Amino acid sequence: MIRKILLKIKTGLALKKNDAIRVSDAYKEAKKIGLLYSLDENRSEELVKDLIAKFESDQKQISAMTFVPVAAKLSDPGYAYFNEKDLNAKGNWSKETVSQFKNEPFDFLVSLDWNQNKYTQNILAGSKAKCRVGRYEEGKDQYFEMMINPNDDKYASYLTQVYHYLTNVRNG
């Protein structure tokens, strides 16, 4: 309970104190893309893998981090992940891979979640990414420089639009 309260406070502070330079490069010049998402039984892992393959075919270095709730009872899903137990009593991430991901200066950090949760919001708030991208959600604009409002409620459409809009980012 205290961890969750501290997480909310730390997320708010991270939003206020984050000194990352938010200037996005053109997609063709981007080198590193981070993908952040939560485990969701309604989401097809194949769709995420297809998106990763598209980015990799464009010669982008991809790092993905997945929030896997403890309730999912996955001990080692075979990819970089974190859960609520990785949050220590002071509201900091105890798992080094989470801290590294949060501090990585990605050219684009893309949230693939349909709805944000407090754990992924914390990573977005403290991220050093040049441009944070996510689905449009009212009241969540402080977490993103680019928000995508999908045409429909299909996850596949959202991922298609993520790729479309990112590949069309040009220098100003």
The conformation of residue 17, written as its DSSP 8-state character, comes to H
pLDDT at 11 over 80: no
Question: Is there a contact between 101 and 80 (Cβ–Cβ < 8 Å)?
Answer: yes
Average pLDDT over residues 3-14: 69
pLDDT at 4 over 80: no
What pLDDT sits at residue 46?
Answer: 87
Average pLDDT over residues 94-105: 94
What pLDDT sits at residue 3?
Answer: 67
